[in-house]
A and B are shown apart, each in its own frame.
Chain A
């Protein structure tokens, strides 16, 4: 236990910042459409991500309807079902979660939280969004292409992904998918450079690395990982595109499809899987780390208590980021790769559980002896811990190579990854939106709708995915549009599936209430003021709300302390903002 009272510090004059070459919009178009302001780009990213996310939500309803009531809906053929799961997965993982956390929250929060006027390369940042939009449009176009979108599953495993037995394999579906991913990666790289270099170079005076809020740490580390991991997907996509369009055999072995010898030969499907998961596993943490960071700040602010073990939290983020590059083959235990890899990857995978567990302990210990305000962001943060702990623990089943053998490719896996990288990060996104909406718009989100949204989403999502583990334990494989009559699967599983479907539809409906709230509160929400949560970080200390172009007024803030000075012994208020010189200010009457 440390007992400290902040001593008086010298007050310093604010950093004299020369009028930087800040981009100044001259017309409506350059202010709201082709804007180079990170805040506008953030809203564009978020809006696009949520719009495409709605498509994924509708797809999930269709899938659930088919699974819950097989045979009832004629238009959901097996082809359509596979197209739905593929697009749902790809949209959620890449076009929604990655884009929203890094493109949305990253753009809005990084410059504000580190005390910068904007991203360091605003023009590149703008390009990043427009390329992302193009990628989304190409993805959407595949719905309208002949043959429809690809139905290869979001993992796009060759050889089937580019063969005629898979929907879209010999049509436009797979080509548009690969092109869209390549575009996304190019666009993301442009944005990612900004997020990283802004944290490296754009920090205001006094903002040392260890004074950064954990939100910035999470987004920063995730971006570094994404910059290094996305090239693997890029390589896989380019090579598969060559195989599909130009007839090379990078991934394609000699094979006979529907009685016909194809001209491919000698390639290795496993090579694709290595490349894919070299991206795919870090991707899990690319989504999780920003969520870790944001939820730390939500808990600390709404429990009015400093985050417990800040240094450990930072180290854990960095350690998880580094370790996540050496665990990829735990997705491939039953892929037929060399069996000795199993020892290595099971060990690394279970080791990564330790820093992750430390993070969980520290969140919970932050609550201990806090002053917990049960605001909606706090509720979402608590729900995140529950779902994340649940999903993380089932990860210990799947990471432990031999336990994975019976469970892999069953609904257990589906339940696991939805809990840990679907529900948990999305709960954080909701919490974060309720938390920062007042800063973005100047108004609070409606509380009643918020409570409804929270309870239905949390309880409903748990009711969907917790029982789903047991469907997998029974042995139901994933990616089956219907189980059919199978001796070892009792009829009660069908009832459980119907229950899950109904829960999914209800949770989906609650999201409509949330979307309505976003628009309704824009006009009718309670006025928020500059710092409604009495938070310490710099984005709440801007002179205007919503922050004007350039973020801070004439002078950039000077940072005197870390981001978690809540209820410091001896302080007058229950929080000290990062740019608050504290005792020094009080000591100087003039």
Chain B
């Protein structure tokens, strides 16, 4: 359970820092008036939607951290046989990086008000994400063609489970992206699309990060790394 505990430690750190910022040490019974301990609560600098997405990503992060914890615990048991790394996964990773880059371009375009670039970037982002999903499906087929079925070994089970979970999250993101893309054609002003685009990009970057972490995990490098750390420590 070490992965999830480290993850929680980070969350608790952020929460603790935020609580101190918010004057959790103040003495409210001594303070009267509309301002209180804090300068100004109105006009939140960060849009509510972004905070909402950030909280949601923390939940998704906890989910994958728990999967990783389960992965490590299951891995210690003797029947574990590591999977071969498919070369296709490298290609898929590249495509997902492209997708993230495209959406980052979309954000920049939205900020600068370039509608055409924005539309192009949004569509590119969507298509590359779809290509990533297709690539993952091909990877599944390759694996099962080699006889690495779901139930053959726990490492296989985890591979299908984790890539599947990640794929479902991408699929959910694609729904939001489609909505934003449709709006990019129906509404003329890039200003109004800015928030939606930023949210999509944020989600995409996060899922890219999750995928990289999963890739490291599934390829077995994470376990090697921990082994090295353990040796250094003892």
Direct A–B contact in the complex, CB atoms closer than 8 angstroms: yes
Return the contact of A193 from the options B44, B56, B66 (Cβ within 8 A).
B56
Q: Does B32 contact A (CB under 8 A)?
A: yes
Question: Which A residues touch B55, using CB under 8 A?
Answer: 193, 196-197, 227
Q: 8 closest Cβ contacts across the A-B interface?
A: A266-B79, A562-B28, A231-B63, A248-B157, A9-B33, A206-B34, A210-B28, A208-B36
Question: Which B residues touch A275, using CB under 8 A?
Answer: 66, 70
* Minimum distance in angstroms from B173 CB to a CB of chain A: 16
Q: 14 more A-B contacts (CB under 8 A) besides A202-B48, A247-B150?
A: A9-B32, A192-B59, A197-B52, A224-B15, A227-B59, A231-B66, A232-B4, A235-B67, A235-B70, A249-B157, A266-B154, A310-B28, A311-B27, A564-B29
B30 (CB) vs chain A CBs: closest residue: A4
User: What are 9 residue pairs bridging A and B, where the CB atoms are less than 8 Å apart in the complex?
Assistant: A121-B52, A210-B28, A210-B36, A211-B28, A228-B58, A266-B79, A275-B70, A318-B19, A561-B31
Question: Which B residues touch A192, using CB under 8 A?
Answer: 59
Q: Does A250 contact B (CB under 8 A)?
A: yes
Name A241-256 residues within 8 Å CB distance of B: 242, 246-250
Q: When the two chains form their complex, are residues A238 and B41 in contact, meaning their CB atoms are under 8 A apart?
A: no
Which residues on B are within 8 Å of A, measured CB to CB?
Answer: 1, 4-5, 8, 11-12, 15, 19, 22-38, 41-42, 44, 48, 51-52, 55-56, 58-59, 62-63, 66-67, 70, 73-74, 77-80, 150-151, 154, 157, 161, 165
Q: How far, in angstroms, from A565 to B151 measured CA to CA in the complex? A: 63
B165 (CB) vs chain A CBs: closest residue: A238
Q: When the two chains form their complex, are residues B78 and A206 in contact, meaning their CB atoms are under 8 A apart?
A: no
Q: How far, in angstroms, from A196 to B186 measured CA to CA in the complex? A: 33
* Minimum distance in angstroms from B166 CB to a CB of chain A: 13
Return the contact of A207 from the options B24, B41, B59, B63 (Cβ within 8 A).
B41
Question: Which A residues touch B165, using CB under 8 A?
Answer: 238
Q: Does A314 contact B (CB under 8 A)?
A: yes
Q: How far, in angstroms, from A322 to B19 measured CA to CA in the complex? A: 13
Q: Does A6 contact B (CB under 8 A)?
A: yes
Return the contact of A248 from the options B4, B59, B150 (Cβ within 8 A).
B150
Q: When the two chains form their complex, are residues A265 and B8 in contact, meaning their CB atoms are under 8 A apart?
A: no
Q: Does A268 contact B (CB under 8 A)?
A: yes
Q: When the two chains form their complex, are residues B24 and A228 in contact, meaning their CB atoms are under 8 A apart?
A: no
Q: Does A278 contact B (CB under 8 A)?
A: yes
Given contacts A248-B151, A249-B154, contact A562 B77 (CB under 8 A): no
Q: How far, in angstroms, from A224 to B5 measured CA to CA in the complex? A: 15
User: Chain A, 244-282, contact with B by CB distance < 8 Å: what is the 0/1 string?
Assistant: 001111100000000000010111100100110010000
* Minimum distance in angstroms from A232 CB to a CB of chain B: 5
Q: How far, in angstroms, from A508 to B95 measured CA to CA in the complex? A: 61
User: Chain A, 314-329, contact with B by CB distance < 8 Å: what is the 0/1 string?
Assistant: 1100100010011000
Question: Which A residues touch B22, using CB under 8 A?
Answer: 208-210
Q: When the two chains form their complex, are residues A266 and B78 in contact, meaning their CB atoms are under 8 A apart?
A: yes
Q: Does A234 contact B (CB under 8 A)?
A: yes
Interface core residue of B15, B35, B37 (most chain A CB under 10 Å): B35
Q: How far, in angstroms, from A144 to B37 measured CA to CA in the complex? A: 57
Given contacts A227-B59, A228-B59, A267-B77, contact A278 B51 (CB under 8 A): no
Q: How far, in angstroms, from A227 to B1 measured CA to CA in the complex? A: 17
* Minimum distance in angstroms from B200 CB to a CB of chain A: 17
Question: Which A residues touch B19, using CB under 8 A?
Answer: 209, 318
Q: When the two chains form their complex, are residues B33 and A208 in contact, meaning their CB atoms are under 8 A apart?
A: no
Q: How far, in angstroms, from A306 to B27 measured CA to CA in the complex? A: 13
Q: How far, in angstroms, from A228 to B55 measured CA to CA in the complex? A: 10
* Minimum distance in angstroms from B232 CB to a CB of chain A: 22
Given contacts A235-B67, A266-B77, contact A250 B32 (CB under 8 A): no
Name A376-405 residues within 8 Å CB distance of B: none
Q: When the two chains form their complex, are residues A274 and B51 in contact, meaning their CB atoms are under 8 A apart?
A: no
Return the contact of B59 from the options A204, A231, A310 (Cβ within 8 A).
A231
B8 (CB) vs chain A CBs: closest residue: A325
Return the contact of A271 from the options B11, B73, B80 (Cβ within 8 A).
B73
Q: Does A12 contact B (CB under 8 A)?
A: yes
Q: When the two chains form their complex, are residues A242 and B161 in contact, meaning their CB atoms are under 8 A apart?
A: yes
* Minimum distance in angstroms from A544 CB to a CB of chain B: 24
Q: How far, in angstroms, from A396 to B174 measured CA to CA in the complex? A: 50
A326 (CB) vs chain B CBs: closest residue: B5
Q: Does A189 contact B (CB under 8 A)?
A: yes
Name A551-590 residues within 8 Å CB distance of B: 558-562, 564-565, 582
Question: Which B residues touch A582, using CB under 8 A?
Answer: 32
B54 (CB) vs chain A CBs: closest residue: A197
Q: How far, in angstroms, from A275 to B4 measured CA to CA in the complex? A: 11
Q: When the two chains form their complex, are residues A278 and B23 in contact, meaning their CB atoms are under 8 A apart?
A: no
Q: How far, in angstroms, from A9 to B62 measured CA to CA in the complex? A: 45
Name A292-344 residues within 8 Å CB distance of B: 306, 310-311, 314-315, 318, 322, 325-326
Q: How far, in angstroms, from A220 to B28 measured CA to CA in the complex? A: 19
Question: Which B residues touch A271, using CB under 8 A?
Answer: 70, 73-74
Interface core residue of A209, A275, A315, A565 (most chain B CB under 10 Å): A209
Question: Which B residues touch A561, using CB under 8 A?
Answer: 28, 31-32
Q: Does A201 contact B (CB under 8 A)?
A: yes
Q: When the two chains form their complex, are residues A306 and B29 in contact, meaning their CB atoms are under 8 A apart?
A: yes
Q: When the two chains form their complex, are residues A322 and B157 in contact, meaning their CB atoms are under 8 A apart?
A: no
Given contacts A200-B51, A208-B22, A562-B28, contact A278 B1 (CB under 8 A): yes
Q: How far, in angstroms, from A10 to B58 measured CA to CA in the complex? A: 40
Name A119-160 residues within 8 Å CB distance of B: 120-121
A563 (CB) vs chain B CBs: closest residue: B28
